[in-house]
Amino acid sequence: MLYKEEAILIRSMDYGEGHKIITLYTLRFGKVSVMARGAKKLKSRHTGAVQLFTHAEYTYYKSGKMGTLNHADIIHSNEALRTDLSKTAYASYICEMVYRLVSDDDQGSSFLFHQLAASFQQMAEEKDLQIIAHIFELKMLKYAGYEPVLTRCAVCGKESGLSFIAVHAGGAACAHCAAGSDASSFIPIDEKTRKLLQLLQTVDLRRLGNINVSPQTKQKLAVIMRGFMEDYADVQYWKSRKFLDQMEKYFLQN
């Protein structure tokens, strides 16, 4: 059967001497794997359409688990994300989130699709890459059923005195609960940072304005979100996360 679907390319891998297998996140059907025959050849008509981050209308034939690419009309090439190392690293991380946290059986999510497209647009417009990634992490945690609880204590339900994040409990925690447990499993957090997390959790990437966050707060956010992503998504084993870590370590040293 022939399909014509709006999609964003989230994964691309070489297959054989001249082909590529691409994974698309489609608006209607979620993840779809497609064989792009001859796409590695210099004069292939599919060259532009099989680049990571490409947003296009893909026409493909599918009768089993994998489709075959026939044609693609590019909507946004997102080339700016492939020519800047930092943007490539963060955009790759976002793509891997979708690839790993969306089940092969899930139907397309219009909201998730448009958040993915918007994250790339915001990156291209020079918005803060780390903040965009944290917003998308929070979207994906919610999609996967692990949305952090930030308006009350995730341990006892208390709505005041939320001065810690307890990753193992799934959200904010009050001082009383932190005092009665292993202190090392609770991350201290001020009210301003907790409310910023709440904002990032609810913001729509399509309407993201300029968010100026201090380096100290960004460092705290990174620790908190790394904790959630490691506990609930095993992010420490992802290639894109390891590459981000190496890149950030390099920039700190230089």
pLDDT tens-digit profile of 187-206? 999 999 999 999 999 999 99
C-alpha distances in angstroms, 204 versus 61, 92, 177? 34, 20, 32
Residue-level pLDDT at 113: 98
Taking the C-alpha atoms of residue 144 and residue 187, their distance in angstroms, rounded to an integer, is 23
Residue-level pLDDT at 215: 93
200: CB partners within 8 A, 6+ apart? 131, 134, 135, 138, 221
Residue-level pLDDT at 185: 87
Nearest of 12, 38, 3 to residue 91 by alpha carbon:
12
103-122, pLDDT tens digit by residue?
999 999 999 999 999 999 99
Residue-level pLDDT at 252: 65
Nearest of 134, 148, 162 to residue 235 by alpha carbon:
134
Residue-level pLDDT at 13: 93
Q: What share of the chain is helix, strand, coil (3-state, %, to 5)?
A: 45, 20, 30
Residue-level pLDDT at 253: 64
Taking the C-alpha atoms of residue 150 and residue 138, their distance in angstroms, rounded to an integer, is 12
128-149, pLDDT tens digit by residue?
999 999 999 999 999 999 999 9
Low-confidence stretches of the chain (pLDDT beneath 50): none
Residue-level pLDDT at 254: 58
The secondary structure element, H or E, covering residue 172 is strand 171-173
